[in-house]
Structure 1
């Protein structure tokens, strides 16, 4: 997703520095005009706005808070935008430290998968100060369409947890519906023509169900990353004394799926447990 988002920024005319742990993944961006930086520290010191989207909260912590991380190398008055789905508590910690250094901080996790990233149609859920949001809004508008400031730092992450909680139970329903259609002797693709436009309609039903039917389990969004997201959501819900049985069930099923060797498959591979 990150490469597609960066590509859209380049094509929109922005000057882009780039760094990844695996340089080969950035070759296409470099060929399009991005400037390669050899470290996070070098990238931060040569940039006015740093945008990150990585795998896990531990990666976010390393990128921003380590000695050679962003916050120790970015100049005052700059902006950080973390678009990783991460821990709300970690987000608030990073924002607090950034504020002490005179750095503007926004958390802006996204939804829309690989398709939304490629097409610049991501949903972007933002937490942070209104003025910082207004300043970087043109960047968000290159990457997404539904862009909403939800509140102070951490609000973007909490909103993404709501998103993932909704998807978690919905994915079970999508898998059960397709399996039911097949067992009933129906053409599941024809069934989708009816139910995707009615009350059952959802992004997952429209975009992932066809992949399930075709046996296409290539990742738009990895199983292992969805497990990470659901784990954060469940832990955060427990901190708020909130019971989430649908989330717990979905997490347990995806953990079974990962244990069977599917952690690097797309989330639509959940249908394998039902078949």
Structure 2
């Protein structure tokens, strides 16, 4: 798929790094975001600019989207100047936003009706994974289409796994977020305990990061906490959105998740205190 033309809608913290990888791989990439200034560096690197999502998608074969909230995704696809308004047969849309499984299914149905194809492909790995091209990508949709776009996904992803039909990628991402939510509580409480016990937290991390307590958050976010670095690799406000989606889906399945409910309550309090635009490691603020 070397001559495939790409579009990427959404140039946030992670989207920008992904687009850079695609440009470095010599793909033609047309970008669109609501504020052109945010795409300035990408345009300087060779990305083409479009004035609307419809324009970005129009001449592209594969269209990536990565937005903040499900409402943003719905707008990008279904608005008057959205992707579907100017679609053509054979195009592939890949939504990398962490969004609701129901919306992924809705997009897939509309794509099918227009003789297009759709993959829901949320990612995990944060800003570090995006910069290093090592994101974990969880995919839902038709397997044949997944296999077709896998070489492109491999440019910025490491663990790229087909999970099943449309919506399966989003359901898998909910599993990921559920695991992270309570793990972040554990990371923050371990550091708070280390400080109160008069230990050197950096030294504690050397012991516990490589043991049974080891996790991505402990290895990548705990060091940021100790440096008082609460800038976002992934926004608190977006994590709260994910937990709300997961709890809604769990409720639909008659599944109780008390650990996730506690994490949501704690992150909701962070947002109320003005930390919504900080990284998820800002949960440590609750213990200071």
User: SS at 2:118's partner residue?
Assistant: strand
Tell me by how many angstroms 1:30 deviates: 0.6
Across the two proteins, how many residue pairs are aligned to each other? 275
The 1-side partners of 2:235 and 2:176 are apart by: 16
Deviations 1:149-203 (A, max 9, x none): 0000000000000000000000000000000000000000000000000110000
Deviations 1:95-140 (A, max 9, x none): 0111011001000000000000001000000001111111111110
Partner of 1:239: 252
Q: Please tell me whether residue 7 in structure 1 is matched to residue 27 in structure 2.
A: no
User: SS at 2:155's partner residue?
Assistant: helix
Q: What's the TM-score once normalised by structure 1's chain length? A: 0.99
CA contact (8 A) 1:52 1:82 kept: yes
Q: Please tell me whether residue 138 in structure 1 is matched to residue 151 in structure 2.
A: yes
Partner of 1:274: 287
The 1-side partners of 2:274 and 2:55 are apart by: 37
Which 5+ residue runs of structure 2 have no aligned equivalent? 1-13
Pairing 1:181-200 to 2, within 5 Å after superposition: 181-200=194-213
Tell me by how many angstroms 1:213 deviates: 1.1
Partner of 1:175: 188
Which 5+ residue runs of structure 1 have no aligned equivalent? none
Partner of 2:235: 222
Tell me by how many angstroms 1:224 deviates: 0.3
Q: What's the TM-score once normalised by structure 2's chain length? A: 0.95
Q: Please tell me whether residue 128 in structure 1 is matched to residue 141 in structure 2.
A: yes
| RMSD value, Cα | 0.6
CA contact (8 A) 1:47 1:74 kept: no
Any runs of at least 4 consecutive aligned residues in structure 1 with deviations exceeding 6 A, and if so which?
none
Tell me by how many angstroms 1:226 deviates: 0.4
The 1-side partners of 2:151 and 2:26 are apart by: 12
